[in-house]
C-alpha cells in the first residue's frame, strides 16, 4: 500500500501558504535543513527569520501570542550570554528537545540535529510533542501535559538552582489542592474550579461557568494560572472577562455572611470586605498592605518574592522564585530560618512589629475561643454568638493571625468579646 502521509503534509502546508498564513512551509530563507520533519517527528519553524512555527500556519492566533512570550525568544537569551552552542547544558531547555513533552528519547531536537536553526526556541512542539503525525492526520491531536513534576510538563525545564519553580511549587498548598476537604473538592463544581486545574481553566475560558471537566483531575499546576500560549499579559497570566486573574480570584470568602462557615477569605480580610460588625462598630478599612498605592502587587508583594541565583566563589546560592507562595521567603543562610528583610522598606524593625502583633493576636484569639465555648447552648442562636463565631472563624481561616489586616482583626476580635459579655 502506498504511504500517502507525506502527500498530506505537503497538501496541508501548500493550502496554508496559498491562503496567506504567514510564510509557507518552504519559504524559509533562514538556513538549515528545509526537508523536515526531523528526528522524532518534529516540524520546527517554517520560517526562521520571521520566527514562524509550522504549527502557527494553521493556528495563527496561538502563533501571534506565542511570538511575544519569552519562550519565543529563548534561544536569543543564550546568544546574549554566549551559551548558544549545542555543547552547552542550557540548549535542551531553550530549544526543541524531548523535554516538556512525552518523548523519552533525548537523541532528538536542536542538539541532535547539530543546532539546526529550525529547532530554536521553545516552540509548540516542546509541550505538545512532535507535530508530524498531527499534520498528516489532524484528528490525531497531541495534547500537552497538564501535570507537573520533574519528568513531565513545565517542570522538566523550570527546575534546578537557577529557576526552581517545580521544587517550590511541589512544597506549596497548590500542589496539594486536590486533598482539601477530604478530596470532596474534586467532585463538587463549587469547589473544583479553584482546586482542580482543568476546572479552573474551563471556568476562566467560559467566563465563570462551574463545571467538572475531567475524570483525571490535576492540582493547581502552572498552566492553571499561566496561559502557555501567551495572551499579552505579564507572566502570561490567564484572564476572565478581560481582567488578569490574581490571587484574590480564589482567595476570597465568596460572600459568606453570619451563619456561614467562611474559608480562604484572605482578599476580603486584606481589603476589609468581610466581617460581622456589631451596632456601633466601624469598619477600619483596608490594610496598608491592601492599598494599591503602597503595595501595587497586593498578595504577590509578600507571597511571590524572588531572589536571583548567586555564586560566591565555589558556593552556589539557589534562586528563589516565590512559588511556595509563603510570605517573605527569604531564608537566613546560617540558621535556615525565614526573615523579614524585604519589609524594611516600610518598617524600621519588621521582626519586632510582627512579633508584637502576633503576641497581641494570640491573646485575643484565645480569649474569644474561650468565650465562645462558655456560651450556654440556649444562647447560641443569638446574634451575639453567631456574629462572634463568624468573626472568629473568618480570621482563623484567613491563616495570617490577623497580619493581613491587623486593624480589622483587632476590631472584630475585641467587638466580638464585648458582645459575648452581654450574654
CA distance 122 to 99: 10
Are the CB atoms for 109 and 86 separated by under 8 Å? Answer: no
User: Residue 113: its pLDDT value, please?
Assistant: 95
Are the CB atoms for 175 and 219 separated by under 8 Å? Answer: yes
CA distance 382 to 34: 78
Helix (H, G, I), strand (E, B) or coil at 34: coil
Instruction: Provide the grid cell at 96.
Output: 526543541
CA distance 88 to 130: 23
In the chain, count H helices and then E strands. 16, 8
Q: What confidence tier does 54 reach under pLDDT thresholds 50, 70, 90?
A: very high
Q: Where are the alpha helices (DSSP H) in 222-263?
A: 222-225
Of the candidates 202, 201, 198, 191, the one whose C-alpha atom is nearest the C-alpha of residue 215 is 198
Positions of E strands within 189-335: 239-240, 243-244, 310-312, 315-317, 330-331
The residue that leads in pLDDT, 314 or 40, is 40
Mean pLDDT to the nearest integer, 17-34: 42
Beta pairing class for 330-331 and 315-317? unpaired
Work out the percent of the chain whose per-residue pLDDT is above 90.
Answer: 68
Which pLDDT tens digit goes with each residue over 224-235?
A: 999 999 999 999
Mean pLDDT to the nearest integer, 293-312: 87
Query: For residue 294, what are the contacts with CB-CB under 8 A and spacing of at least 6?
Result: 288, 346
Give the burial string for 351-379 (b: 16+ CB within 10 Å, else e): eebbeebeebbeebbeebeebbeebeeee
Sign of the Cα torsion 244, 246, 248, 254 reads positive
Whose cell is 489532524? That residue is 138
Which pLDDT tens digit goes with each residue over 312-358?
A: 888 888 888 999 998 876 666 565 566 676 677 778 888 788 888 88
Q: Would you say residue 3 has pLDDT above 60? A: no
Which pLDDT tens digit goes with each residue over 246-266?
A: 999 999 998 999 999 999 999
| Residue positions counted in the chain | 423
Query: Out of 8-17, 123-132, 286-295, which region has the weakest mean confidence (pLDDT)?
Result: 8-17
- Average pLDDT over the chain, rounded to whole? 88
Are the CB atoms for 307 and 319 separated by under 8 Å? Answer: yes
Residues β-bridged to residue 179 = none
Are the CB atoms for 248 and 240 separated by under 8 Å? Answer: no
CA atoms within 13 A on the CB side of 130: 18
Whose cell is 546560592? That residue is 317
Return the number of other C-beta atoms located less than 10 Å from residue 331's C-beta.
Answer: 15
CA distance 150 to 143: 18
Are the CB atoms for 203 and 191 separated by under 8 Å? Answer: no
Amino acid at each position: 500500500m502506498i504511504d500517502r502521509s507525506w502527500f498530506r503534509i505537503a497538501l496541508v502546508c501548500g493550502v496554508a501558504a496559498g491562503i496567506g498564513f504567514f510564510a509557507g512551509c518552504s519559504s524559509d530563507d533562514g538556513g538549515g535543513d528545509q526537508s523536515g520533519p526531523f528526528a522524532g517527528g518534529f516540524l520546527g519553524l517554517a520560517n526562521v527569520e520571521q520566527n514562524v512555527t509550522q504549527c502557527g500556519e494553521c493556528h495563527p492566533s496561538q502563533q501571534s501570542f506565542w511570538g511575544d512570550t519569552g519562550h519565543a525568544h529563548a534561544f536569543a537569551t543564550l546568544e546574549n550570554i554566549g551559551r548558544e552552542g549545542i555543547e552547552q547544558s542550557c540548549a535542551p531547555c531553550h530549544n526543541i528537545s524531548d523535554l516538556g513533552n512525552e518523548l523519552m528519547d533525548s537523541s532528538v531536537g536542536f542538539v541532535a540535529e547539530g543546532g539546526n536553526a529550525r529547532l530554536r526556541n521553545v516552540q509548540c512542539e516542546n509541550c505538545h510533542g512532535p507535530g508530524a503525525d498531527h499534520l498528516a492526520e489532524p484528528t490525531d491531536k497531541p495534547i500537552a501535559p497538564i501535570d507537573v513534576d520533574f519528568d513531565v510538563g513545565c517542570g522538566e525545564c523550570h527546575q534546578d538552582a537557577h529557576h526552581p519553580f517545580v521544587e517550590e511549587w511541589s512544597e506549596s498548598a497548590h500542589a496539594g489542592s486536590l486533598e482539601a476537604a477530604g478530596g470532596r473538592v474534586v467532585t463538587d463544581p463549587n469547589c473544583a474550579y479553584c482546586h482542580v486545574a482543568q476546572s479552573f481553566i474551563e471556568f476562566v475560558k467560559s467566563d465563570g461557568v462551574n463545571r467538572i471537566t475531567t475524570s483525571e483531575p490535576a492540582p493547581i499546576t502552572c498552566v492553571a494560572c499561566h496561559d502557555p500560549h501567551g495572551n499579552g499579559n505579564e507572566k502570561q497570566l490567564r484572564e476572565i472577562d478581560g481582567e488578569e486573574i490574581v490571587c484574590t480570584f480564589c482567595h476570597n470568602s465568596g460572600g459568606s455572611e453570619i451563619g456561614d462557615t467562611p474559608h480562604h477569605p484572605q482578599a476580603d480580610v486584606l481589603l476589609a470586605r468581610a466581617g460581622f460588625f456589631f451596632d456601633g462598630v466601624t469598619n477600619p478599612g483596608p490594610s496598608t498592605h491592601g492599598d494599591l498605592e503602597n503595595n501595587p502587587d497586593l498578595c504577590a508583594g509578600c507571597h511571590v518574592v524572588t531572589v536571583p541565583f548567586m555564586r560566591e566563589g565555589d558556593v552556589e546560592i539557589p534562586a528563589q522564585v516565590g512559588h511556595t507562595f509563603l510570605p517573605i521567603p527569604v531564608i537566613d543562610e546560617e540558621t535556615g530560618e525565614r526573615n523579614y528583610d524585604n519589609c524594611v522598606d516600610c518598617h524600621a524593625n519588621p521582626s519586632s512589629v510582627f512579633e508584637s502583633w502576633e503576641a497581641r493576636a494570640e491573646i485575643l484569639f484565645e480569649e474569644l475561643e474561650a468565650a465562645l465555648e462558655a456560651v450556654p447552648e440556649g444562647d447560641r442562636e443569638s446574634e451575639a454568638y453567631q456574629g462572634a463565631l463568624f468573626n472568629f472563624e473568618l480570621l482563623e481561616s484567613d491563616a495570617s493571625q490577623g497580619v493581613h489586616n491587623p486593624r480589622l482583626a483587632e476590631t472584630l476580635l475585641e467587638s466580638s468579646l464585648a458582645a459575648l459579655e452581654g450574654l
